[in-house]
């Protein structure tokens, strides 16, 4: 990473720590960094030097892998994440994506993470950069139904698949009966659900779904709009 971009990251981090963070300035500073350097720039802003090793994972869970910054940008834009949203990051790791969502949009972020080491790292990150609207709950996401219920946007970067994914989607369907939600899946195929409608643009790696009422969802399926 070029020295000027490292200085930019230092300046952004200093403003965050002083409590004078500006979302527009943060996005502008990121935009000045070449795409290939943006992940390193964000890691420098968040002082993320090392990722803790994974704990022993339950069957069906995937080891932690940080989300690419440009993919996170597309999630924010396509899902139209706003300051009044509550983003639930399923399999949140060290909190990197959650911190980015908050710093970019002002949204409250709750991470759900099953690995104790990563939970500790996430909480340390939130304290280090003074992100008060970011929290991390330790536990298996499929069992954290009360925490899931507060969300309006759900981000999944391949945390698990199979039965665990099916159980999570069943919980999300219950949430969607009370309010409209968006489900954002990165590198994770979501099985067809009549209550989820995929929104354009249709990228091979990222899918953003909007929840809909049962009758409306049925009509969308019949029109061939729902894509998996």
Which pLDDT score, from 0 to 100, does residue 158 have?
83
Across the range 96-102, mean pLDDT stands at: 96
* Mean per-residue pLDDT over the chain, rounded: 88
97/163: higher pLDDT: 97
Measured distance CA(174)–CA(170) in Å, rounded: 7
Q: Could you give all domains of the chain from N- to C-terminal order, each with its CATH number?
A: 1-45 (no CATH), 64-222 (3.40.50.150)
Lowest mean pLDDT among 8-12, 58-62, 130-134, 197-201: 58-62
pLDDT the model gives residue 19: 87
Model confidence pLDDT, tens digit, residues 3-55:
889 999 999 999 998 889 999 999 999 999 999 999 999 999 999 987 777 66
- How many residues belong to the chain? 228
> Region 92-119: what's the mean pLDDT?
95
When pLDDT is cut at 50, 70 and 90, the band that residue 162 belongs to is confident
Distance CA 63, CA 55 (A): 9
Contacts 24+ apart (CB under 8 A), 135-139: 135/109, 135/110, 135/111, 136/92, 136/95, 136/98, 136/110, 136/111, 136/112, 137/110, 137/111, 137/112, 137/113, 138/113, 138/114, 139/112, 139/114
Asked if residue 135 has pLDDT above 90, the reply is yes
pLDDT in tens, 163-222: 889 999 999 999 999 999 999 999 999 999 999 999 999 999 999 999 996 545 444 444
Beginning with the edge strand found earlier in the chain, give each strand of the sheet holding 134-138 in spatial order: 134-138, 108-113, 86-90, 153-156, 182-186, 206-211, 196-199
| Bigger pLDDT: 50 vs 125 | 125
Give the pLDDT confidence score for residue 228 in this predicted structure.
44
């Amino acid at each position: 990473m070029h020295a000027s971009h490292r200085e930019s990251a230092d300046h952004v981090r200093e403003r965050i720590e002083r409590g004078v963070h500006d979302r527009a300035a943060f996005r502008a500073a990121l935009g000045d960094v070449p795409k290939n350097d943006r992940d390193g720039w964000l890691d420098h802003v968040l002082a993320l030097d090392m990722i803790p090793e994974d704990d022993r994972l339950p069957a069906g869970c995937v080891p932690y892998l940080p989300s690419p910054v440009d993919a996170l940008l597309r999630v924010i834009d396509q899902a139209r994440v706003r300051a009044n949203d509550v983003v639930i990051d399923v399999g949140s790791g060290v909190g990197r994506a959650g911190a980015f969502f908050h710093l970019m949009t002002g949204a409250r972020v709750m991470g759900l993470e099953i690995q104790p080491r990563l939970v500790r790292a996430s909480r340390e990150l939130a304290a280090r950069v003074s992100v008060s609207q970011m929290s991390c709950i330790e536990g298996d996401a499929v069992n954290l139904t009360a925490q899931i219920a507060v969300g309006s946007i759900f981000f999944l970067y391949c945390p698990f698949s199979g039965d665990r994914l099916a159980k999570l989607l069943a919980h999300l369907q219950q949430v969607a009966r009370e309010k409209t939600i968006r489900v954002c899946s990165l590198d994770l195929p979501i099985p067809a659900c009549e209550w989820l409608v995929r929104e354009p643009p249709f990228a091979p790696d990222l899918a953003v779904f909007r929840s809909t009422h049962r009758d409306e969802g049925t009509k969308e399926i019949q029109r061939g709009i729902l894509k998996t």
